[in-house]
Amino acid sequence: MITFEEVLAKTKRKLDENQLQAVNCDTNCVVSAGAGSGKTTVLSYRFLRLVLEKKADCDQILTLTFTRKAAKEMHERIHAQLLQFKSDPYVATQLSKFPDAEIATLDSFCSKIVRCDCTRYGIASDFSIDDEANKKNAQLCAQALMEENTFGEGARILAQIYNPEQLIDEVLVPLATQHYYLPKILDPGIVQPILDAVKTKYKEILDSFYQLLLSYEGFTASSKAVQSAREAASILLPAFDASDDYGVMLSLLGSSNYFWTKPGKGSGDDIDLLRETSDSYKAMRKQLCLALSILTHGQSLASVLAFLCEYQKAYQREKRKTGILTFSDVSSLAVDILKVNPSLRSYFKNKFRYIMIDEFQDNNQLQKDLLYLLSEKEELCNGGIPSYQDLQKDKLFFVGDEKQSIYRFRGSDVSVFKQLSSELKQNGGVALSLSTNYRSEPELIALFNSLFPVVMENHGESYEADFAELGSRAKKDAIEASCTLCIKPFDSADQDEGEDELAVGVDSEASAVALLMEKMLHTDEYLIPSETGPRRPEPKDIALLMRSTSSQLSFEKALRRYGIPYTLQTARSLMLEAPSNDLYNLLQLTIYPEDRLAYLGTLRSPFCNISDAGIVSILESYEENPLPFGTNPVLSDDDASRFEHASHFFSQLKDYVKTKTLSELVMHLWYESGYRLSLVTHAETQVYLEHYSFLHRLAQIKEKQGFGLSQFLDFIRENLGQNERLDDLDVIKEQSDGVQIMSIHKSKGLEFPIVFVASAGTKLMNKGSSLFAIQDTVIPYFMKNSFHETEKKICVTRGLKDFFDSGEEKLREKAELKRLLYVAFTRAETHLVVSGCFNRMNRNKNGDDSADNLLLLACNGLGLDIDSLAGKNTFVQVKRIEDVSEKSLYARKSESPASEDEGFEQKSDWYRQPLEEVDLLPSRYGVTTIFGVSEEAGNEALRLPLLDCDALFLKIVEQEKKKNPMQKDPYSPAADFGTLVHALCESRLLGENLPDERQLIPIPLARRLDEREKKQVLADASSLCDNFFACDLYRRFVQDTSFKCEVKFFSVVEYQGREVVAEGAIDLLVETPNEMLVIDFKTDLYKKAEVHARQVLTYLQAVERLYGKPARGCVTFLRQCGNEVWWKTNIDEK
């Protein structure tokens, strides 16, 4: 049997001393793994070591990650490592168990626990997880309850404090979705403990205030301020002694009386004391008034809490009824189930011998409790959360980096990760560190080591991250790393008067950034390493990161102006640009043909491209017959031809919208109309090509939410012209060909040769929240009371937050800002650029000494004067961003009147050419369309076992024929059933843990099924998957090999007398040392392999071209696997 040491000797990857120490650790351990330190390598090699040393089987190690992408990467890496040594009998045995290895996200694992005992909470085991659907349910529950309780006291109070939109969207929905998760139940009895807490703090402040008044009572000096203080004491002290009535005390302390001006000059004991304590007097008096406001509104608090209890019950009833939960529900339920179900807790404790958790700095106390429950000593099973003394001493292995905890908005808490080290060390565990950064050049590491000790300096607060010096790798040959600060200093002077107005700061910054990128791309000043030596960077080697994408549009425009391609992770400008408007206009006409504006937009868009004169003629005839493309206007030959083609396409589209899904419609408009080709034709519009990814994704999201076309158009209409980020519309790309623009949060886990941290001077406008958590209960505002904070200034208080908030929330936000800077900087491999503008609001000249934006943080850490831009760090180059004229923002680089005229003439000549006849036949087909089953099953085909859902599908077909008797190709569910089976097989092959397999049912089929029918279809699909995993084909060729699922390809073939592109996806592609194996799944009722031979041949030819190996393939009929026929590229050779 091969040993782990032999594996290390044979693999190319060499582990450093710290990595080896972590891999070989056999006690509870917390590994602090900095950016680029190889934490994924450590986790995968530790998994391998535990298996090879027979400490655990593959299915006895629980490996948890933060994202599905990370789980998939971990799964593939560990599997690939084991496959290298599959000839070893023990490794082969472990490979057979690897499909059962639990490598998943924490959310999906929690879902698995909850499904074991969810009926205890009245939840069906086939529940689904959908945060968006839950948000809608919360809105509906809130609206219904407010209507039912219009005259209820709690509803009345809330309606007086908040406007209706605020109350629903900013109070009740966040309370329900973020705080009132299952199985938590609000306790109305919490009111008294809250009031008791207020009273306790009130008495503490009152005692200090009373003592201060006693000192004022003894004043003898004659100054006006001293006399005012003595008078205040003489009135307030007897009042405190005489009455405990909170209302009386509030009217006294909340009045405009008993204030004075803080002494400026003068001396003497009384004046000195008053000068020192006047601010304290006002602060304590304000705190007393805040407390008294709460205590006099105790009944209002009780009424609001009673209303919230009703709301929570209604919302949780809806959850149980619909079976739709949130991720927070699942996490909380999983912990509760393990606490109250000893047998299930014991099962999971015994199932997993080791637990490894990645990115734990992004988790919270609830998730820590879950892991402690799973790691409790076997002989124990106490009711609550185990203490660290009750944990097994060698089960837990945490990996994380407190400096990269940047997800507070998702509930992560860096203090939980920091606390782990001390707890586990007290129980025999260890805390290790992976300090070497293998990503960045040594010069950048030296910069980080000088910058971040200053930035991250703290006084031991639990929410602060501690920075430790980073180690570095060897310098790459002939590579000179760099760090550049591009800064526009604050200028208090007004703009110079002149012919050209100056652009705003962010536009000037964007122009400077684009100019520097152009220099990087076309000179040798910013070389980056490659396998063949130093080279100039390409656009895809550059990332432009921003804390907020609010100014993204300015950078997009600047990059377009300089002809630099880019790609987006978040399309803020999606609804501002032409593609969204063009697609909206054409789809709008299919439902609302009378929309004149949409018709005009369509005529001018690339869908028609009609000239101005042509549009005038069309609109004149349109007045007589107001239907799109319903007239025969007098047009030039060119316009007439375009109009005819557009009319034909629109006629087809009107039929398409009746049967196609939203995503299919978007794809049809983008590709089949020629719209994409129109963008490709012009360099300046090619940047819009990736808008398709966002529009298609938006259509998919709205499909999932049950939107029809009219609702989809309503949504787009509301957002057109808005420079806003659309929620959940982020598209992650494996490969990008342009500058990658994304938020810093999206860049986490990625690395780039060149990083721009742009718009670094931006301050996020935090509106704050009216919600406040006290004694594990979150409460909104429940009153509106005012009092005098000074003689003239009035303070309005609405709830507990004003009284209890100590300002820690702001300190936590600033602590995360420091970590955000660290994450942004450590994405860079070779060159780092920081750009930003200082203005009147972000320099913090008159505030405290803490920075509230990334640019000021960096400047302060580097010792850079933000006015003169002078600094001491010689490695950092500082460049001043100069003003640019607003006119220059709308001109392309190097554009001149002469070049404009030349370009116009060239384009005019091209447009004057006669329009060639256009072949409207598609140029791309699916392989199954070209080589579909052309022969009848007949007597030669073997009939396979029937499924229960076959009868259901026949019923659907009959219903479709009745509904649309004239339709040429009525909907058939068989193809969608095949898609479902393929998706299930792929999911199981890749070891994915799906929270809800119903999501895999294609939308057209799901729409036609009720819940019972969905369960039946899923059960039948699952049985076909089981057939495959139990068959000889899987055991012989797939189980212990390297494979890929759904491998997409394009191939040129001859079809209908012309060359076309055949597009296909290979269900399962297995790579062996000598050949490639293609396995195609079929769910057909009749087995006749020969009818699929041409399809398989196309797959084989494509695979041999792509991989350079001989290939053979087969079709396996999942209703009855076995006796597969294999083909080679010579179709007659089997």
Q: Is 855 left (phi over 0), alpha (psi -120 to 50) or beta?
A: alpha
d(CA 794, CA 788): 4
Lowest mean pLDDT among 298-312, 980-994, 1120-1134: 1120-1134
When pLDDT is averaged across residues 1057-1078 and rounded to a whole number, the result is 88
pLDDT value for 896: 44
Please tell me which of 133-147, 936-950, 1118-1132 the model is most confident about, judged by mean pLDDT: 133-147
The pLDDT score that the predictor gives to residue 63 is 96
Reduce the DSSP state of residue 968 to 3 states and report it.
Answer: coil
Average pLDDT, stretch 463-491?
93
On whether the CB atoms of residues 978 and 1083 are closer than 8 A, the answer is: yes
Q: What is the DSSP string of 405-451?
A: ---GGGT--HHHHHHHHHHHHHTT-EEEEE-EESSS-HHHHHHHHHH
Count of helix runs (H) and strand runs (E) in the chain? 42, 29
pLDDT of 495 reads: 45
CATH 3.90.320 residue spans of the chain: 926-1128
In this model, does residue 12 exceed pLDDT 80? no
At residue 503, the pLDDT reads 59
CA dihedral 310, 315, 317, 318 (to 10 degrees): 150
User: Which whole number is the average pLDDT over 373-400?
Assistant: 92
φ and ψ at 1065, to 5 degrees?
-140, 125
DSSP string of 806-858, one letter each residue: -SHHHHHHHHHHHHHHHHHHTTEEEEEEEEEE--TTSS-SSS-S--SSHHHHH
Say which residue, 300 or 915, is predicted with more confidence: 300
The SS3 assignment for 534 reads: coil
* Chain segment 31-79, per-residue pLDDT in tens: 999 899 999 999 999 999 999 999 999 999 999 998 888 888 899 999 9
- Predicted local distance difference test score (pLDDT) of residue 735: 54
702 pLDDT more than 90:
no
The answer to whether 99 and 1035 have CB atoms below 8 angstroms apart is: no
Whether 1117 has a pLDDT exceeding 90, the answer reads yes
Q: Pick the residue with more confidence: 446 or 412?
A: 446
CATH superfamily of 4-121+326-434: P-loop containing nucleotide triphosphate hydrolases (3.40.50.300)
Asked if 408 and 41 count as a contact pair (C-beta separation under 8 A), the reply is no
The H or E element that residue 89 is part of is helix 89-97
CATH architecture under which domain 482-569+745-767+811-886 falls: 3-Layer(aba) Sandwich (3.40)
Q: What backbone torsions phi and psi does residue 783 show, to the nearest 5 degrees?
A: -155, 170
Say which DSSP state 668 is in.
Answer: I
Average pLDDT over residues 491-517: 73
Q: Quick one: average pLDDT of 231-257? A: 93
**Mean pLDDT for the chain?**
88
pLDDT of residue 496: 42
CATH 1.10.486.10 residue ranges of the chain are 579-731
Residues 6+ apart with CB under 8 A from 714: none
Cα torsion 462, 463, 469, 474: sign = positive
| Whole-number Cα distances in Å, 751 to 438, 748, 754, 821, 828 | 11, 8, 9, 15, 6
- 749 vs 71: CA distance, rounded Å: 13
- Residues in Cβ contact with 601 at an 8 Å cutoff, skipping those fewer than 6 apart: 581, 582, 585
Query: Dihedral of CA 676/677/682/683: which sign?
Result: positive
Rg (CA), the chain: 34
Element (H, E) at 107: helix 106-117
Residues marked as binding? 33-40
* Residue 958: HSE in the Cβ half-sphere, 13 Å Cα cutoff: 6
Q: What does the pLDDT average to over 661-675?
A: 91
Question: Does the structure show a pLDDT above 70 at 1011?
Answer: yes
pLDDT score at 499: 40
Strand partners, 796: 786
Q: How many residues does the chain have?
A: 1134
Indicate the pLDDT class of residue 731, thresholds 50, 70 and 90.
low
Q: Scanning the structure block, which residue is given the tokens 């049985």?
A: 1023
Question: Rounded distance, CA 897 to CA 1004, Å?
Answer: 55
Quick check: 928 pLDDT over 90?
no
SS3 call for 880: strand
Which pLDDT score, from 0 to 100, does residue 726 have? Answer: 67
Is the separation of the CB atoms in 448 and 826 below 8 Å?
A: yes
Question: Rounded to the nearest 5 degrees, what angle is found at the Cα of 1034, between the Cα atoms of 67 and 1133?
Answer: 125
Segment 1091-1100 mean pLDDT: 89
Query: Residue 1026 pLDDT more than 90?
Result: yes
What pLDDT is attached to residue 918? 59
Pairing of strands 772-774, 752-758: unpaired
The pLDDT value recorded for residue 497 is: 40
Per CATH, the homologous superfamily of domain 579-731 is PCRA; domain 4 (1.10.486.10)
Q: Which residues of 1050-1084 are buried (b: 16+ CB within 10 A; e: fewer)?
A: ebebebeeeebebbbbbbbbbeeeeebbbbbbbbb
Whole-number pLDDT of residue 272 = 92
Query: What pLDDT score was predicted for residue 1134?
Result: 46
What is the dihedral sign for C-alpha 734, 740, 742, 747? positive
Residue 379, φ and ψ in degrees, nearest 5: -80, -10
Fold that domain 926-1128 belongs to in CATH: Lambda Exonuclease; Chain A (3.90.320)
522: closest CA among 536, 512, 543?
536
Query: What would the mean pLDDT of 90-111 be, rounded to a whole number?
Result: 93
| Residues 179-205 as b or e (16 or more Cβ within 10 Å = b) | bbbbbbebeeebbeebbebbeebbeeb
Measuring CA to CA, how many Å separate 572 from each of 546, 548, 741, 742?
13, 11, 11, 11
Provide the percentage of residues in the chain whose pLDDT is more than 90. 54
pLDDT of residue 849: 53
* Amino acid identity, position 521: L
| 1020 three-state secondary structure | helix
User: How far, rounded to the nearest angstrom, does the alpha carbon of residue 970 sit from its chain's CA centroid?
Assistant: 39
Compare 353 and 868 and report the one with higher pLDDT: 353
Annotated binding site for ATP: 33-40
Structure tokens at 433: 């560190």
Rounded to an integer, the average pLDDT of 407-411 is 84
Task: Identify the weakest region by mean pLDDT among 521-535, 618-632, 1028-1042.
Answer: 618-632
Q: Which residue has the higher pLDDT, 133 or 510?
A: 510
pLDDT band for position 560 (cuts 50, 70, 90): confident
What is d(CA 909, CA 346) in angstroms, rounded to the nearest whole number? 80
What does the pLDDT read at residue 412?
Answer: 85
What's the pTM value of the predicted model, to 2 decimals?
A: 0.74
Kindly give the pairing relationship between strand 752-758 and strand 777-779.
unpaired
The two three-digit tokens of residue 310, written as one number: 């009703």
